[in-house]
Structure 1
Amino acid sequence: MAPSASKLYFAVQDVVIQMLIYKLKKRMARKKKRWWVRGWVARRHLGAVQLISELADEDPESYTNYFRTSEDCFNFLLDKVSDKITKQDTTCRAALTPKIKLQITLRFLATGNSLKSLSYEFRVAPCSISKFLPDVLIAIYEALKDYIQVPNTEECWREIMDGFNDKCNFPMCGGAIDGKHVQIRCPAHSGSDYYNYKGTFSIVLLAVCDSELKFRYINVGHYGRASDGGVFARSNFKKKLEEMSLNAPEGMVLLGDQAFPLTDYLMTPYSRRLNLSKKQKIFNYRLCRARRTVENAFGVLVSKFRILEKPIALLPETVDKIIKTCCVLHNWLKTRSSTYIEPGLIDEENSETGDLVEGSWRTIAQNSFRPLGNFSGNHSRNAHRIREHYTDYFVGQGRLEWQDRMIY
């Protein structure tokens, strides 16, 4: 080997050795992890877990307020979802139990606390919560989805119609419909899809409610920029109504506000921009009185599940799961518990004066949901005639019975 080549060889070799020594020293100097699991996280039996046990034994009312469900209901739900959310232990650590996963999820829905706050409360890492949360939401919805069912028999529809007739004095009403914007944080790379006319980002919840404040139909997931009546226009519910595949009694109507089109099966109020007659004002009052049920249902939903009270900082697909789960929990708890709705929570009328006494939910949820905007479109002549028929009936000048076809 030539002297110059030999010198170059040894120079390169020296550089390589120095680099290896530098990397070795850097690796040795690297700060070692102080723990595999933080000490306070390992003591999971303390904190919220201990508090929950004390509430269950000493204060059932506070337990219900903590989770929005009684201990019996919690155990029932846990039995339904355990198999779907159970994970196997590994050689490194024990898997989180289904019980603590369900506890964290219900507390998250009840409060809307950040994952970091829940981490400190339950001593579970935020990354772990973010991973299991969607799975638990899906499991809850799948376990309880039968509590939200669109009526598909004439008997079911007539039961709902009886409820509206008895409680709201609005005959032949098969439900009140409304849509609200659930606010979210602006999703990455979403453009203007979720940007609504109120200047916020949202996902639309469309719902049909009965007189018992239970949701009979929900449609979740449309972009906030969706046109006002467009969500309903594109829904399967509207399609089935028009195809008459839901076995609804002939002449049955839904009640909506001016965000929806006036049709043969959907009554909306007379526009306040017109110079309304006395009997038209009476019709608007009666429709508003009956349609208040869906507003109350939304209000109770937000007052019980505070996650809906402020913009949700999660992926849109996770927000969809949250909304659906809150709705199905609302129906389930309304069915299971007679104390789910506390006195004064919803709007009521003074029996002596007839004045409206607003429920406390209006203070809690006034900024939580954004209403849909007004719908503009051409209404059929028959729809106008049906509304006029109702108007005459409410002022004692007409006759309205189930067997009436209301087609002229």
Structure 2
Amino acid sequence: MSVACVLINSIEATSVCGIMSLQTVAAAAYLVIALNRKKKRRKPRWWRRQLYVGGQEAQNDFLNKLIADDQALFRNFTRMSQEDFEYLLEKISPIIRKSDTNFREAIPTRIRLLVTLRYLATGDSYASLMYLFRISVPSISRIIPEVCKALIDVLHDFVRIPDTEDGWKKIARDFEVLWNYPHCIGACDGKHIVLQNPKNSGSLFYNYKGTFSIVLMAVTDADYNFIYANIGCQGRISDGGVFRETIFYKKLANNNLALPAPESLPGSNRLSPYVILTDDAFPLQEHILKPFSGYHDKGSCERVYNYRHSRARRVVENSFGLLASVFRVFRKPLMVHVDNAEIITTTCIYLHNFLRRSKTSRPLYSPQGSFDHETRDGNIIPGSWRVTTQGDNGVLNLQHRARRSTFEAKEVRKEFMRFFTSDEGRVPWQDFYA
């Protein structure tokens, strides 16, 4: 018998007894309304969408054929070799594995990793991935952040700031050999990762380009690997404010990075510190160098320095370019929550270093011609990533601003300028381009 019927019978009984009152009727009516308003939890129509006959077995069969029949298709599907895929799967399986229940089987860890890698590689919507993997959108929205967090946990050693002088000197030697810039310990730059307008955020994430974003601030070595990355600062904050709040800058300002002691450049008696190369969006400081602003005549010392500076700093720009060309989730605004956008970006940074250092995936991830390179006479040939990311609206540059610099910082830059125009530091082709 329903609650309403019981209530009506009670009202009739009380009426017969003559003890019915307006208060009783009101209370009974309120009870009926409250019971009717109580929302019942709707039972889900499905846990995994069975769009085609065959279910999970057919899906696994499709993926097994993808691996067995054509390795090139698998590499394009996941952006890595099968060996590296199996390595990552073994590492993260204990973290992301789910248990079967009496009602249904859990989604296999292999499928969870494939869903995540395919999302990072293409940036497809969750609805598109639903048709490919036959997994519901709510399940995909939970799987991707979980797998990304697991990848960050197992790959945390691939992005690390050197903690010894020998580590910094190795980076400096690579810059000197590859890019003819001594005493350089990294190239720094920042990018806006564009995303959809976060709810109830007002103008916190609104940047000067008229989009909503979080800021990616990173430092790379001479071989296009990230040694530090800070992700998540609101897009409205100025570039200087973002950089000053990073752990890297605070350690640099407090001399806690274990940098080597200043040494003289070849042919000079003056001590020069180890420096980081940036663009005009950053302040000029003792350990942070940027190009001379304004126009300079061809052949001038300032123009020569700007050429040598930009030539070495180009590694960080190429690193960002390769990141956005391979992980095409950055080709358009991220349609996820801000926290998940930070997790996704961090995962791609770690995967970038992992694939760059892998023997089997490096030739696939960054084949010859991916980066800007030079001929023997100094001609610059643009990397293939510039064509791939043409018209990209998902990764934007930081705004350039003029800043006042200290006398000591200007003298450090002048010492490098004198070195690049001297017989010991010049390169044969610089006069043609500078």
Q: Does TM-score exceed 0.5, indicating one fold?
A: yes
Stretch deviating more after TM superposition (81-90 or 322-331): 81-90
Q: In 2, Cα distance between the equivalents of 1:32 and 1:316?
A: 30
Q: In 2, Cα distance between the equivalents of 1:146 and 1:379?
A: 35
1:389–1:398: 8 Å Cα contact kept in structure 2? no
The code of the aligned residue for 1:222 comes to: C
Give the match for residue 392 of structure 1.
Answer: 418
Q: How big is each residue's C-alpha offset from its partner over 1:206-248, in whole Å with a ceiling of 9 and x where there is no partner?
A: 0000011000000000001111111111111111112222211
Pairing of 1:228-247 with structure 2 (within 5 A): 228-247=239-258
| Cα distance, 1:238–1:36 mapped onto 2, change above 3 Å | closer
Q: How big is each residue's C-alpha offset from its partner over 1:166-198, in whole Å with a ceiling of 9 and x where there is no partner?
A: 111111100000000011011111100111000
Pairing of 1:31-110 with structure 2 (within 5 A): 38-40=49-51, 43-47=55-59, 49-110=60-121
Q: Is 1:173 matched up with 2:199?
A: no
1:44–1:122: 8 Å Cα contact kept in structure 2? no
Give the match for residue 323 of structure 1.
Answer: 345
Q: In 2, Cα distance between the equivalents of 1:216 and 1:33?
A: 45
Deviation for aligned residue 1:78: 0.8
| 3-state SS of paired residue (2:200) | coil
**Number of residue equivalences:** 381
Q: 1:111 aligns with which of 108, 117, 122?
A: 122
Per the normalisation by structure 2, the TM-score is 0.82
Q: Is 1:201 matched up with 2:223?
A: no
Pairing of 1:243-392 with structure 2 (within 5 A): 243-250=254-261, 251-272=273-294, 278-336=300-358, 337-339=361-363, 340-352=365-377, 354-366=378-390, 367=392, 368-392=394-418
| Cα distance, 1:50–1:272 mapped onto 2, change above 3 Å | farther
Per the normalisation by structure 1, the TM-score is 0.87
Pairing of 1:106-145 with structure 2 (within 5 A): 106-145=117-156
Q: In 2, Cα distance between the equivalents of 1:145 and 1:260?
A: 27
| 3-state SS of paired residue (2:56) | coil
Give the match for residue 430 of structure 2.
Answer: none
Q: In 2, Cα distance between the equivalents of 1:268 and 1:34?
A: 59
| Cα distance, 1:93–1:61 mapped onto 2, change above 3 Å | same
| Cα distance, 1:121–1:268 mapped onto 2, change above 3 Å | same
Deviation for aligned residue 1:399: 7.4
Q: In 1, Cα distance between the equivalents of 2:329 and 2:48?
A: 29
Identical aligned residues as a percent: 38
Stretch deviating more after TM superposition (116-125 or 277-286): 277-286
- What RMSD, in angstroms, separates the aligned Cα atoms of the two structures? 2.7
Q: In 2, Cα distance between the equivalents of 1:77 and 1:295?
A: 28
| 3-state SS of paired residue (1:178) | strand
| Cα distance, 1:274–1:234 mapped onto 2, change above 3 Å | farther
Q: How big is each residue's C-alpha offset from its partner over 1:50-97, in whole Å with a ceiling of 9 and x where there is no partner?
A: 343223212212211110111111111011111111122222111111
1:207–1:217: 8 Å Cα contact kept in structure 2? yes
Unaligned runs of 5+ residues in structure 2 are 1-11, 36-41, 262-272, 427-434
1:177–1:256: 8 Å Cα contact kept in structure 2? yes
The code of the aligned residue for 2:293 comes to: S
The code of the aligned residue for 1:314 comes to: V
1:87–1:96: 8 Å Cα contact kept in structure 2? yes
| Cα distance, 1:298–1:35 mapped onto 2, change above 3 Å | closer
Give the match for residue 215 of structure 1.
Answer: 226
| 3-state SS of paired residue (1:99) | helix
Q: In 1, Cα distance between the equivalents of 2:46 and 2:344?
A: 34
| Cα distance, 1:36–1:372 mapped onto 2, change above 3 Å | closer
Give the match for residue 404 of structure 1.
Answer: none
Deviation for aligned residue 1:374: 1.5
The code of the aligned residue for 1:369 comes to: V
Q: In 2, Cα distance between the equivalents of 1:40 and 1:306?
A: 27
Q: In 2, Cα distance between the equivalents of 1:62 and 1:348?
A: 28
1:177–1:207: 8 Å Cα contact kept in structure 2? yes
| 3-state SS of paired residue (2:57) | coil
| Cα distance, 1:33–1:273 mapped onto 2, change above 3 Å | closer
The code of the aligned residue for 2:380 comes to: L
Deviation for aligned residue 1:309: 1.1
Unaligned runs of 5+ residues in structure 1 are 24-30, 401-408
1:254–1:267: 8 Å Cα contact kept in structure 2? yes
Deviation for aligned residue 1:360: 1.6
